[in-house]
Structure 1
Amino acid sequence: MKVKFLVSLLLVSICIFAQEENALQKKQQLETAIQKAQGAKRLKLLDSLATYIYYDTNLECDSILRTTIKYAIKLDSVNVATRQASNLIDYIAHSSGKFDEGKQIIATMKPLLAKVSSPKILDNYYTNVANMYYYAGDFEASIKAYDKAYFYATQYNATTIGLIAFRKGVVYVDNGEFGKASLSLADAISYFQKVKDTLKWIDAKGSVSILYSKSGFYKESKKEREEQIELAKRFKPYTNIGVIYFNMAADNNKAGFQEERIANLKLALKNNETSQHQTFFDPIFTSALAVAYAENDSIALAEKIVKKLEANPEKYTTNYNEASYLEAKKSLLFAKKEYEQALTYGETYLKLKQKGKQFEEIQLAEKFLFDVYEQIGDKEKALYHFKNYTHIKDSIGNIQKTRVLAYYQTLYETEKRDLTIENQEANIALLDSKNKIKNQWMFFGGSGLLVLFGFVTVIRSRNFAKKKQKIQEKFTQDIINAQEEERTRVALELHDSVGQQLMLITRKSKNSNDASMEALAKDTLQNVRTISQGLHPVVLERLGFTAGINDLITTIDTNTELFFTTEIENVDAYLDNKEALHLYRIQQEILNNIVKHAEATAVSIDIRKGKSTIEIIVEDNGKGFDYEKQMQFSKSLGMKSLLERSKILKANLTINSILKKGTIMQVTFPI
């Protein structure tokens, strides 16, 4: 068994090392290419490198993100700049913690955001901005940013709608706005239930339990958390049950149930072993258990844990984990009656907490210093900290009462509003029913006959319309299929006959030493080949859909000033020849429209496979258009062919265009 374990460990180490080596090699290759490139091509490579390092590696990404943003702004590519600024803000929020730098980036991006053409990019940007403000303790700015994220998310019916409501509810809880928090969390839970997102539903219930706890409703909080744990156990992918037990332990401590507190902290650590966030929560849970042991006369157990923390300072005692360690250390020293040392750690802990707005923790820190000075015999300083403690305690008590009143008032107003609406609807329904009873007998006979006649007429009309529509669709589809056959025939004729003859003319003109004739012959041959390729793409037939699309993009990229950003998965295995051809033509038509009409400078193409679909998303930053007006008055066959080809594939075509901001076209093809 030991040998097998060592072999497995060795294989894992080799795999990790190989992945790191591959990441460094790819990074170096892209950096070399970037040094040689300029303009749009350089930006494209920078964007690819920044995205790769940020999402797919553990390498340092700060400098490459900043470089990409700066260069994108220089080229006025606001979509790329905003997307990478969003990534950098997220990195600052979760890794570096340099919030002032994050605010500078937000200030830089502010005048550029009006030019961003994609609601999805803006939704993601404002969500990360809101997250950063939350971690920085600026709750009002966080809520404003979440409101903007919600606005853009609703523009494309994003799956982030519920998540934004949930996160806003969390901010309201921490900001003490319990009434608004309860309504926001209720909206989030309703949304998560609707879309059957059990994972987010569990997290939202956790925030509701914290709301109850902060209001002093420990019984309700416990019930909510027990339901949360039951849900989490049934939902096996959920790995953060440890956080639920940790919060239960905090409530146990407030209520004075110390045995339950220690038991729940042990459960928190045990369940955290399988959590995807195990590294983040382990120092917090471990330190909390040491505090619980120290405060309950289990000094030996507390000391053992503190030694473990100090043996690995990088993991347990610095940065985000410094406060947790200081709390454990001061509690242990106090329990051991080493008051002078406990005082040093206690004062450091208080200064750290005073930098934030965690008043409950500041209150407990003041109480600790009061206890220490009292044991030392320094009555003056003990009294000073006791006054601070009681002042904060009274303030928190008053705030809590206000919060509870606000919470109940909000619930009361909501219920009163709903009840009023229900009563009004009931009264209206009652009056309607009385009037209907009076009139029913008068018109029953005649209206019955009319309804029967109308019903038969409507059914016949609908059947006729359906048949007519099917015939029309079949006719249109037959035209498209015949058009493809004719294109193939003409392409072969051009290649086999005209192409061969032009090759002979080219050779003869070369032998005649007539330079102008030779150039004309070469240009004509090239034009014929281009026309032939457009009529029937050989790359598509020989190498498949993915290669065909890449070739199409390369051709347009070479012959236009457009800047392309692509993320294309290989989906050839899921398409037959006809499906591949129709999807290729749809993509070709979309890109032709962008080149001819959009006046765009940048295009983003995303082709990916979902669970049961293939999705093609094309975004441009052009002038946009009025889709309804275009379909009503335009005589162009291009848009109509897009719709007809989508019908042939039974695919869903969505077009979202905003004037002066650009267009997003999405094709969802069922596999």
Structure 2
Amino acid sequence: MKNSFIIILFILVFPFIGFSQDIQYYRSIADTTHNKTLKLEAIDSVLSKTFGKDNDTFIVFSIQFIKLAKEMDSIELAAKKAMNLQHILTAFKNDPRKAITIIDEVLAYKYKIKDSFLLGGLYLKRGGANYRIDLQKAIKDYSTAIHTFSKKDSIYVADAFLFRGQAFSNLGKFVPAGEDFKSAYTYYENLKDYEYMQFAHQGNITMYSRNGFFDKAKQERDILIKKLIELNLDKYLSTSYYNQSVDYKKRGNTKLQLKYLLKAEDVINKNEGVNDMLNYLLIHSKLTEYYCYDFEIDKAEKHVNLLDGFIENIKSDPLAESYYYGAKAVFNNAIGDFDKALEYAKMKMEIVNSLGYEEDKMEAHHLLSDIYYNLEEYNKSLENKNKYYVIKDSIYSQSSANSLAYYQTLYETEKKEKELVEKNTSIQLLEKDSDSFKKLSLIIGIVLVLLFGLILLYRNQLNLENKKELQEKFSQDLLQSQENERKRISKDLHDGLGQKLLIIKNKLINSGNNNTKELVEESIEEVRLISRDLHPFQLQELGITKAIEYTINQIDENTTLFISSEIENIDNLFAKEQEVNIYRIVQESLSNIIKHAQAEAIKVSIIKTANSIIISIKDNGIGYNFSEKYNDSKSLGLKTLLERTKFLNGQMKVHSKEGDGTLIEYTFPIL
């Protein structure tokens, strides 16, 4: 038995002994030979045997190989090793700056690189390292890679589109990000690379989330999670679970936020062999913050201690450091050590400013505002709170063009303020010459300050009005575009699919196949229902008055609500586009009551006066605070109703109190 144990032990240990001996053999050649070719081959053998097994040795000998290859004018060989080394340095050693330096040294000889894969790959890899440090530089590298790769490098072109889309998305530039994700998905689909199709899919899901389409994001993310499990790609589940927790946080559902954070933590713990330090830090940082805000300090401390154990490994990775400093700031703020919390929050703010992540900037300002408030520095607290709201509005409420205009305005304002400071400085210097000139300078200074103040006030007012007009026009054009698209799809369903189904039905009647005929009849009815929902053909066939009455009757017949109505005839008072908007307003108002009001009864009245019509819709539901509901970023229904009302030059009045029902009155002028 003892002999058997020794044999088994020898069998287990022998491969490692052999591996070590092989490495030593080639290291010895590399260290002793003066023949550069032989030395390069020996180093290459060391690299092939240490790749994925001994990162420290791999890094040391990769650097030696690159240096020797450049000396031998073998630039393309140096390029290959620099590309292989980037991922090890960035992902495993958290040292992206070193990776950039090494790639830059090779790119200095780029005119000697003829292979498009190698040259494009260097830019692609440098972009991956810059992604951790400077997103704008990363985007520039990815763009260069796309234009450098040739047709035979299509898989790497797809990677460049994917990574550039992620960088654009993190900067809040959703339009170019969406275009890049679409391009990447198409490339991967054509290449049948289904694993990376999931990454492009994830990018689009993130776009849905950042634009507030949380239900759509959840639906798509559930599909993605199912696919990842089916493909045994469990290591990517932590990212999906974490992103879902972020969505629930934005929606105010802290219970589900915690549920998905814990799911993400469970995946990370089960995949300890997968070196994903960034996700590890991110998840434990957010769990720390969650438990602090939930006043569960003991649980928060557990995760802080886990983070502290990794601090030495992340000091060269700005993104990882920002997560760590944020968690430490929240924790110290929660336990009352406000000075230390402020120190960590400032370090986080400095990093996220350099990285350019808008959402991280927003969170950092919110955190600083809380800490300054606890320190009773209320002006600084208010200043950071204002910056938080500015960024929040930029991310969730404005288009990229409006964001650019905002920052341009901010820059011009700062420039004018600088000019005022310089003027005041000049005045102060001139005051030393004489008392009379001092008085004159003071008067000039006051006049200039007032003049510039009025100019700035006027410019800002014009900018605000222009932005408001552009936003309203965009919203109205969007509503009209949606209505036209609904009408087109509805017509296509009715004239195309509907007609074909009728032909099939008629053929089935002649064949005597009753079961199939019934299925076709059900399909025809479903197509008609969808078509009617997309575009109310009752408006064209019956007029707006009958169309509204038809909608009310449908609700009365298909729900438990008691609904009464007093409707005067308003046919032919408005143009067709206006009638569609009025119909949609009534339809959406009733739909909101059914979904949210928990009402038992509804009363609808339409009164025609000499110059206008008045539509009132009243329910006995739970009611709501209009101001809170309207300012809620997730409440799109009220905003849409208000935009439609503006489109008709009308007025919308909401009378609602929690627990006391709601009355909405619309007044539309008859032109």
Normalising by the smaller structure, the TM-score range is 0.5 to 0.7
- The structure-2 alpha-carbon separation of the partners of 1:190 and 1:58, relative to structure 1 and needing over 3 Å to count, comes to same
Does 2:38 match 1:36? no
1:187 lines up with 2:186 in the alignment = no
Instruction: Pick the aligned partner of 1:61 from 45, 58, 62.
Output: 58
Matched, 1:260 2:259: no
* 2:23 match: 27
Q: Deviations over 1:543-571 (max 9, x none)?
A: xxxxxxxxxxxxxxxxxxxxxxxxxxxxx
SS at match of 2:355: coil
For 1:367, the equivalent position in structure 2 comes to 366
Q: Deviations over 1:395-423 (max 9, x none)?
A: 445655648999x99xx9xx99xx9xxxx
Map 1:307-386 onto structure 2 (within 5 A).
307-310=305-308, 314=312, 321-386=320-385
Q: What's 2:286 paired with? A: 288
Q: Tell me if 1:166 matches 2:166.
A: no
Residue of structure 2 in register with 1:650 after alignment:
none
Tell me the distance in 1 between the aligned counterparts of 2:9 and 2:207.
Answer: 43
Shift of the alpha carbon at 1:346? 2.8
Distance change (3 Å), C-alpha of 1:90 and 1:315: closer
- The answer as to 2:216 corresponding to 1:216 is no
CA positional deviation for 1:172: 2.5
Distance 1:246 1:19, change over 3 A: farther
Give 1:278 deviation, angstroms: 5.0
The answer as to whether partners of 1:78 and 1:115 remain within 8 angstroms in 2 is: yes
Q: Which residue of 2 aligns with 1:146?
A: 142
Give the Å deviation of 1:73: 1.8
Output one character per residue of 1:217-276: Cα deviation in whole Å (capped at 9) or x when no partner.
323322221221122222224421111010111111122111111011011112233443
Is the CA contact 2:132–2:355 (under 8 Å) kept in the aligned structure 1?
no
Q: Which residue of structure 2 aligns with residue 571 of structure 1?
A: none
Tell me the equivalent position of 2:442: none
Distance 1:321 1:119, change over 3 A: closer
- What residue is the counterpart of 2:265 in the other structure? 269
Aligned-residue Cα RMSD (Å) equals 3.8
C-alpha distance in 2 between matches for 1:316 and 1:38? 39
SS in 2 for 1:239: helix
**In structure 2, how many angstroms separate the alpha carbons of the residues matched to 1:266 and 1:13?**
43
| Aligned partner letter, 2:175 | G
In structure 1, what is the Cα distance between the partners aligned to 2:87 and 2:369? Answer: 40
Cα separation, 2, equivalents of 1:150 and 1:341: 45
Judge conservation of contact 2:285–2:327 (CA < 8 Å) in 1.
yes
Sort the Cα spacing of 1:263 and 1:380 in 2 relative to 1 into closer, same or farther, 3 A: same
- Tell me the distance in 2 between the aligned counterparts of 1:215 and 1:258: 20
Indicate conservation of the 8 Å contact 1:206/1:228, yes or no.
yes
**Which residue among 277, 297, 315 is the counterpart of 1:299?**
297
Partner of 2:245: 249
What one-letter code is carried by the residue in structure 2 that aligns with 1:241?
L
Partner amino acid, structure 1, of 2:365: E
Q: Please state whether the residue corresponding to 1:191 is helix, strand or coil.
A: helix
Q: Deviations over 1:330-386 (max 9, x none)?
A: 323333444344334333333343332123222222222222222332323323433
| Cα 1:13–1:309 shift into 2, 3 Å | farther
Task: Give the drift of 1:301.
Answer: 2.5
Shift in Å, 1:208: 0.9
Aligned equivalents of 2:143 and 2:307: distance in 1? Answer: 41
Query: Structure 1 residue aligned with 2:134, among 107, 118, 137?
Result: 137
Deviation at residue 206 of structure 1 after TM alignment = 1.0
CA distance in 1, matches of 2:41, 2:314: 41
Question: Shift of the alpha carbon at 1:107?
Answer: 3.9
The SS at the match of 1:207 is helix
Q: Relative to 1, partners in 2 of residues 1:381 and 1:284: Cα closer, same or farther, differing over 3 Å? A: same
Contact 1:185 1:208 in 2 (8 A): yes
Q: What letter is aligned with 2:280?
A: D
Over 3 Å counting, the alpha-carbon distance change for 1:178 and 1:365 in structure 2 is closer
Partners of 1:151 and 1:368 in 2: how far apart?
A: 41
Residues 180/13 of structure 1: CA separation in 2 closer, same or farther (3 Å cut): farther
For the 8 Å contact 2:248–2:256, the answer to whether it is kept is yes
Residue in 2 that maps onto 1:205: 201
Tell me, in whole angstroms, the C-alpha distance in 2 between the residues paired with 1:14 and 1:257: 55
Write the distance in 2 (CA, Å) between the matches of 1:224 and 1:55. 34
Please give the alpha-carbon distance, in whole angstroms, between the structure 1 residues aligned to 2:34 and 2:358.
54
CA separation of 1:338/1:123 partners in 2, compared to 1, >3 Å: closer, same or farther? closer
In 2, the alpha carbon distance for the partners of 1:279 and 1:184 equals 27
Q: How does 1:80-99 map to 2 (within 5 A)?
A: 80-99=77-96
Say yes or no: does 1:233 pair with 2:226. Answer: no
> 1:14/1:70 Cα in 2 relative to 1: closer, same or farther (>3 Å)?
same
Alignment gaps of 5+ in structure 2: 404-469, 486-671
Q: Tell me which amino acid in the other structure corresponds to 1:288.
A: K
Distance 1:269 1:41, change over 3 A: same
Structure 2: distance between partners of 1:205 and 1:224: 8
Tell which deviates more after alignment, 166-175 or 117-126: 117-126
Deviation at 1:38, TM superposition (A): 0.9
Q: CA deviation at 1:277?
A: 4.2
2: CA distance, partners of 1:73 / 1:119: 19
Q: In the alignment, residue 301 of structure 1 is paired with which amino acid?
A: K
Report if aligned partners of 2:172, 2:358 keep a CA contact under 8 Å in 1.
no
The 1:375–1:403 alpha-carbon spacing in structure 2 relative to 1, beyond 3 Å, is same
Counting only pairs closer than 5 Å after superposition, residues 72-87 of structure 1 correspond to structure 2 as 72-87=69-84
Distance 1:57-1:96 versus aligned 2 partners, 3 A rule: closer
Aligned to 2:611: none
Task: Tell me: CA distance 1:360–1:38, structure 2 relative to 1, closer, same or farther (3 Å).
Answer: same
TM-aligned CA distance change 1:223 to 1:161, over 3 Å: same
Please state whether the residue corresponding to 2:341 is helix, strand or coil.
Answer: helix
Q: Deviations over 1:598-630 (max 9, x none)?
A: xxxxxxxxxxxxxxxxxxxxxxxxxxxxxxxxx
Structure 1 counterpart of 2:86, one-letter code:
I
Distance 1:226 1:62, change over 3 A: same
Q: Distance in 2 between matches of 1:334 and 1:19?
A: 53
Is the alpha carbon distance of 1:24 and 1:124 closer, same or farther for their aligned partners in structure 2, counting shifts above 3 Å?
A: farther
Compute the displacement of 1:153 (Å). 4.7
Q: CA deviation at 1:289?
A: 1.4
Amino acid at match of 1:181: A
Whole-angstrom CA distance in 2 between matches of 1:48 and 1:25: 13
* Paired residues of 2:94 and 2:314 also in contact (CA < 8 A): no
Corresponding position of 2:558: none
CA distance in 2, matches of 1:233, 1:101: 36
Q: Secondary structure at the match of 2:57?
A: coil
Corresponding letter in the other structure for 2:62? L
Relative contact order higher in (CA < 8 Å, ≥ 6 apart)? 1
CA deviations over 1:302-321 (Å, ceiling 9, x no partner):
23333444466557999564
Equivalent pairs counted in the alignment come to 401
Task: State the distance in 1 between where 2:203 and 2:16 align.
Answer: 38
Q: 1:228 to 1:380 in 2, by over 3 A?
A: same
Per-residue CA deviations over 1:136-183 (Å, capped at 9, x if unaligned) read 2143x4344334544565442554343333223222322433222212
